């Protein structure tokens, strides 16, 4: 089942991230998709703040992955937009199932490598501030999370 939410501001997008963070679990994988400027990094910043990460969150466009350990649990923030090689040689899939949480921006670019159980979130910009957010859970843990939050 898909869930659709309309966010009318950055604050509402951050609140969604905070609500999802409240239901977090170790091994969680969140896949973010959407055009440039649609809210992927903003969502990640909100999630990280709720996780009590005190470092500045930026999109890891050129480094592919940034690891944050200062919060309640580790956060592995990936941006696979520039990834051109076979991702099996990058070690990214080694993060799936690890202690902590994985958030992947541009996840649709590596869809063949994503874990079967995950939370997919697609951001569509409607205007300067308004976003339509489609959330798709894959697996019972993610379905339960959506039922609790949405």
Architecture of the domain spanning 3-83+95-149: 3-Layer(aba) Sandwich (3.40)
CB 38 within 8 A of CB 112: no
Domain boundaries, the chain: 3-83+95-149
CB 62 within 8 A of CB 84: no
- Token pair, residue 110, equals 């590596």
Average of per-residue pLDDT across 111-136: 96
**Tens digit of each residue's pLDDT (9 = 90 or more) over 40-92:** 999 999 999 999 999 999 887 677 899 999 999 999 999 998 776 667 777 88
**Tens digit of each residue's pLDDT (9 = 90 or more) over 128-149:** 999 999 999 999 999 999 999 9
CB 76 within 8 A of CB 95: yes
CB 119 within 8 A of CB 135: yes
Mean confidence (pLDDT) of the chain: 93
pTM: 0.95
């Amino acid at each position: 089942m898909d869930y659709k939410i309309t966010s009318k501001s950055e604050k509402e997008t951050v609140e969604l991230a905070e609500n999802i963070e409240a239901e977090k679990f170790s091994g969680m994988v969140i896949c973010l998709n959407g055009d440039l400027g649609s809210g992927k990094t903003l969502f990640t910043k909100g999630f990280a703040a709720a996780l009590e990460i005190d470092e500045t969150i930026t999109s890891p466009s050129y480094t592919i992955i940034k690891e944050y350990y200062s919060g309640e649990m580790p956060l592995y923030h990936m941006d696979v937009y520039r990834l051109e090689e076979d991702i099996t040689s990058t070690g990214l899939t080694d993060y799936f199932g690890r202690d902590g949480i994985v958030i992947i921006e541009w996840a649709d670019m590596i869809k063949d490598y994503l874990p079967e159980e995950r939370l997919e979130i697609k951001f569509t910009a409607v205007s300067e501030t308004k976003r339509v957010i489609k959330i798709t859970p894959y697996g019972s843990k993610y379905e339960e999370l959506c039922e609790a939050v949405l």
